[in-house]
Structure 1
Amino acid sequence: MAYVAVKGGEQAILNSHRLIAEDRRGDPEVPELTVSQISEQLGLAVDRVMCEGSVYDRELAALALKQAQGDAVEAIFLLRAFRTTLARLAVSNAIDTDQMAIERRISATFKDIPGGQVLGSTYEYTHRLLDFDLLDPADVEGSKAKTADAPLDPNLPRAFDSISDEGLIEAELPAPDQTSVFDLTREPLTLPASRDQRLQNLSRGDEGFVVGLAYSALRGYSAGHPYVGETRVGDVALEIVPEELGFSVSVGDITVTECQMLDLFAGSADEPARFTRGYGLAFGRSERKAMGMAIVDRSLRCHEYGEEPKYPVQDEEFVLSHTDNLEAAGFVSHLTLPHYVDFQGDLQFIRQLRREQIDSRSTKEAAE
């Protein structure tokens, strides 16, 4: 019977595909949205799809958004599915964010930092009022803001380098027993997870979920109050080492957002008091994601500092098992598929329970 039901729904599925195409196009009197327009004018949406889809390609991410009618999760699904068809040509070197061509760089820990605060492009200081001038693009054509006259120094020191030199901030050191970086796109998550697994998981994870977990930590469901040590947005060189050459060559630049959170650690019998770090890195201009990621990363490092995990954001299995938006969306959406047999089984079970309850009451009343 199940096979007949599936075959019977084939025409309905084909009709649904045609309706999707019609809904995607919308009113044919309105000019169709192009992939280049999405890439250039909906850049933050494109950045999110690239980040959570694990493919740095603005055109493909914009195409996925168009195909998905702007549904970010569906677009991420499309991009990840395409990713599985791509050959693995090389493994890049670790990017050097100290050499970033900076577009935005801020720190909440010091008022004055070497090289200065660079506000860049941000909605933080906008009034959050609808701009009705955007209804007629001709009215705002050519109204670009003035940018810096000269490029920023690509070797700007970290905002907190001065106190790092005093040993007041946890040093950045590679894991002593790690010979290679885990690749979450090719291997399943293992628990307990190493930090590279956790960071990859959070970077690919759903932005809303990661930020929600970070929010829970800030509201008191965690042990500390973090500070934005520094957030950087800009372009970094991507380099590989071809086997036939034996030295690094640049294959292009990518835009990334990096955030380092600082959190107070009071010290222990073996460790001095200092600030510890949480780290976030995401494709494109993804500041909210990188900040949320850094907060969650520090929360999940509680075991390293002898802190007792008491809150959801500190529960590694809970956090890392529920970040993936494709798994979450798929599990919720699967409820729309046929569950006739399951429901009939539960329906029969409920009827049986009700009969037993009625019989039990009748027996009790008779005994009284």
Structure 2
Amino acid sequence: MYVAVKGGERAIDAAHAWLADERRGDRSIAALTIPQIREQLALAVNRVMAEGSLYDPDLAALAIKQARGDLIEAIFLIRAYRTTLPRLAASNPVETAAMAVDRRVSATFKDVPGGQILGPTFDYTHRLLDFALMAEGEEPQPAAGAAPAEPAAPADRVPHVTGFLNRDGLIQPEPACDTPPPDLTREPMELPAARPLRLQALARGDEGFILSLAYSTQRGYGRTHAFVGELRIGTVAVEVDIPELGFAVEIGEVELTECETVNQFTGSKTEPPQFTRGYGLVFGQSERKAIAMSLVDRALRWRELGEDSAGVPAQDEEFVLMHCDNIQATGFLEHIKLPHYVDFQSELELIRKLRAAAASDRQQEAAE
């Protein structure tokens, strides 16, 4: 047994060395640097930060490099590192109405105070490969007559679009909550889960899984028809209360994507007909995830809104929350490739006994 263990250790060391060699790739090509990944693969960095629950572009870029571009493995690395960090303080809720906006669009109103800001988006690009990007040392030039980049809107010009509906009582107001929400990263999730806990789980959830659930609601597997009330991307200040000073101090900024969807609601015994909201908030520029999150959030609100459940996956709280985490899913899925020799041998022996018993029965029936 000792020889087998030592042999296993040597094999694992060799596998690690081989992985490092594969990660480096062709030595004639310059190695990727962390700044290159952070600046030029920013959307991948943003996903790792969002689903890893740690806002640090440099560490996310390092994790992507270490994981050879496997984003789920990079998220795993970030989460593992996050557990080693001390919790120094809890920040105040960020004020997204004071966001320095880079992108802000609404599908519900054409003209909104502050204007529609297209920002950096793939929405209007042709899905054609741009071979100019393969030119070494050359940057593609903007098209002739292209307008310069739109500046970020001042913080006092970006009120939330849903606020206009709220003034007329046409949208359900969000209830005030003075108690801190539970922390999913420090306490195990219990079902049924309150909406703040559900939103945390969705924010950390796998983008592909959340996207598929959101798509299912649009195809009819859920009684919602959503409009994007507002989608905004920009930076917000993070503040922490300092007891010794008696006031909050800004400690930095984070980039966020926020989405509020507006959904029809026919009313209930206690609520008049009005619009309701779905909500998504994600680190970085992650608008696909934020929109999908808001759709699934609204689907999960059926019970608190007094609606009847359609019995679809997106409305099943346990199904959604217990399966959206890609790290838990990966761990459970990939553990089956580890040694299960004893388990398999027991099942193999059982199958042999069953086959022998079946063969004996057949022989007995033939003899009769």
Unpaired runs of 5+ residues, structure 1, are none
For each residue in 1:231-251, what CA deviation from the matched residue of structure 2 results, as whole angstroms up to 9, or x when unmatched?
Answer: 110000000012221211101
2:346 — aligned with what? Answer: 345
1:199 — aligned with what? Answer: 199
2:188 — aligned with what? Answer: 188
How far has the Cα of 1:339 moved from its partner?
0.9
How far has the Cα of 1:351 moved from its partner?
1.1
Measured in 1, the distance between the counterparts of 2:336 and 2:150 equals: 56
- Output aligned runs, 1:33-52, within 5 Å: 33-52=32-51
For each residue in 1:154-174, what CA deviation from the matched residue of structure 2 results, as whole angstroms up to 9, or x when unmatched?
Answer: 122222333221111111222
1:115 — aligned with what? Answer: 114
For each residue in 1:296-334, what CA deviation from the matched residue of structure 2 results, as whole angstroms up to 9, or x when unmatched?
Answer: 111111101222331111111111111111111111111
- Output aligned runs, 1:228-307, within 5 Å: 228-307=228-307
Measured in 1, the distance between the counterparts of 2:280 and 2:140 equals: 36
* Comparing 261-270 and 136-145, the one that deviates more: 136-145
1:171 — aligned with what? Answer: 173
Shift in alpha-carbon separation, 1:344–1:363, aligned structure 2, 3 A: same
- Could you tell me the TM-score, scaled by structure 1's length? 0.95
Q: Number of matched residues?
A: 364
The question of whether the paired residues in 1 share the 8 Å contact of 2:211 and 2:289 is answered with yes
Shift in alpha-carbon separation, 1:160–1:196, aligned structure 2, 3 A: closer
1:162 — aligned with what? Answer: 164
How far has the Cα of 1:363 moved from its partner?
3.1
- Could you tell me the TM-score, scaled by structure 2's length? 0.95
Does residue 331 (structure 1) correspond to residue 328 (structure 2)? The answer is: no
How far has the Cα of 1:5 moved from its partner?
4.3
The question of whether the paired residues in 1 share the 8 Å contact of 2:233 and 2:257 is answered with yes
Measured in 1, the distance between the counterparts of 2:270 and 2:80 equals: 47
* Comparing 141-150 and 27-36, the one that deviates more: 141-150
Counterpart code for 2:198: R
For each residue in 1:36-58, what CA deviation from the matched residue of structure 2 results, as whole angstroms up to 9, or x when unmatched?
Answer: 00000000000000111111000
1:90 — aligned with what? Answer: 89
Measured in 2, the distance between the counterparts of 1:300 and 1:229 equals: 19
Measured in 2, the distance between the counterparts of 1:335 and 1:361 equals: 36
* Comparing 318-327 and 40-49, the one that deviates more: 318-327
Shift in alpha-carbon separation, 1:222–1:235, aligned structure 2, 3 A: same
How far has the Cα of 1:142 moved from its partner?
6.2
Counterpart code for 1:285: Q
Cα root mean square deviation, aligned: 1.7
Measured in 1, the distance between the counterparts of 2:151 and 2:277 equals: 32
How far has the Cα of 1:119 moved from its partner?
0.7
Measured in 2, the distance between the counterparts of 1:151 and 1:351 equals: 71
Counterpart code for 2:323: H
The question of whether the paired residues in 1 share the 8 Å contact of 2:257 and 2:285 is answered with yes
- Output aligned runs, 1:210-225, within 5 Å: 210-225=210-225
Measured in 2, the distance between the counterparts of 1:148 and 1:30 equals: 33
Shift in alpha-carbon separation, 1:143–1:32, aligned structure 2, 3 A: farther
Measured in 2, the distance between the counterparts of 1:281 and 1:53 equals: 14
The question of whether the paired residues in 1 share the 8 Å contact of 2:102 and 2:152 is answered with no
Counterpart code for 1:351: R
Unpaired runs of 5+ residues, structure 2, are none
* Comparing 140-149 and 332-341, the one that deviates more: 140-149
Runs of 4+ in 1 over 6 A off after TM superposition: none
Corresponding residue SS for 1:9 = helix
The question of whether the paired residues in 1 share the 8 Å contact of 2:119 and 2:149 is answered with no
Counterpart code for 2:72: V
2:315 — aligned with what? Answer: 314
Measured in 2, the distance between the counterparts of 1:336 and 1:262 equals: 44
Measured in 2, the distance between the counterparts of 1:74 and 1:160 equals: 37
2:55 — aligned with what? Answer: 56
Corresponding residue SS for 1:240 = strand
